[in-house]
Amino acid sequence: MSTRKIKQQVLDVLDQENLAQIQRDLSVLDAKELINALIAAICRSEERLRWHAVTAMGWTVARLADEEMEEARIIMRRLLWSLNEESGGIGWGAPEAMAEIFCRHDGLAEEYVHMLLSYMRPDGDLPHQDGNFLEHETLQRGLLWAAGRLAQCRRSLALSKGMADDLPQYLASPDAAVRGLAARATGLLGCCADLARLRDLTTDNATLRLYEDGQLSTATVAELAAQAVERLDASRAGR
C-alpha cells in the first residue's frame, strides 16, 4: 500500500468515536508503517482526530519497542528533535504523544521521561542544569497535559525526576489552558510547592478544552483547581 493510502486509511480510522475499535483497526497494520501517518495526525487541527492520534501513538510506539527497541528510540528522538528550534518545525503534539508512550512502555519511560521534563526547565550554568524551556504557550498546553498524564500513570517516576518543582511556575501563566492543566497536573501528582496560588485559581472561571479517558470536554480553571485542592487536602488528611 502506498504511503498516501496508508495515511488516508489511518485518518479514517482515527476519526471514529470508539477508541477500542480504533485500536483494533490499527493493530492489524505494521507499526513502522503507522508511525509517519500518526506523527502527521498529531499535528492536525481536527480536535478529536488529533487526540485519538496522540493515544494511538502510545499504543503503536510501545508495540514497536517490544518488537525493535532501537526503532522506537529513533521515534523518541524524532519527537524530541521536533521541539528544538534547530529542527525548523514546531513540535505540535510531541509532548502529548511522548507522555502517552511513557504510559504504555516502562523502558521508554525510564529512558526518556527526564527529557520531556527538561522542556519545563530553563538552561543553567551548572552541568546538571540542562533545561530546554518551551516558551510558546500552545506548546506549553501540550506539555502541561503531558505532565498530568505522567502524574496519572508514572507518578513515582515523575516525582523522582522533580516534576513537582516544575509545575508552580505555570499556575500564573497568562494562558488559561496552561493554568488549568498545571492545576490538574498538580492535583494528580499530589504535591504542590505553591498551594496558595493553586487556591487562588479556584475562582478563575476561564475555560479550556480537556482530553481525558478518550473523551473531550470543556472545563474551567476553577473546576480543575478545586479538584486539585480537594485531592491535595485528602492526601494530607490521609497521612
In this predicted structure, what is the pLDDT of residue 67? 96
Over the stretch 47-71, which tens digit does the pLDDT of each residue have? 999 999 999 999 999 999 999 999 9
Q: Tell me the C-alpha distance between 176 and 220, whole Å.
A: 9
Average pLDDT of span 5-29: 95
Query: Contact, 30 vs 36, CB < 8 A?
Result: no
Who's near 90: CB < 8 A, 6+ residues apart? 82, 136, 139
Query: Contact, 22 vs 16, CB < 8 A?
Result: yes
Instruction: Supply φ then ψ for residue 2, to 5 degrees.
Output: -70, 160
Query: What is the chain's alpha carbon radius of gyration, rounded to the nearest angstrom?
Result: 18
Query: Contact, 56 vs 38, CB < 8 A?
Result: yes
- Residue-range domain boundaries for the chain: 3-237
Q: 502506498: which residue's cell?
A: 2
CATH architecture of 3-237: Alpha Horseshoe (1.25)
Q: What pTM did the predictor assign?
A: 0.94
Over the stretch 115-165, which tens digit does the pLDDT of each residue have? 999 999 987 655 555 689 999 999 999 999 999 999 999 999 999 999 999
Over the stretch 88-124, which tens digit does the pLDDT of each residue have? 567 999 999 999 999 999 999 999 999 999 999 987 6
Query: How much of the chain, in percent, has pLDDT values that exceed 90?
Result: 85
In this predicted structure, what is the pLDDT of residue 86? 62
Who's near 68: CB < 8 A, 6+ residues apart? none
Q: Which of 2-6, 53-57, 75-79 has the lowest mean pLDDT?
A: 2-6
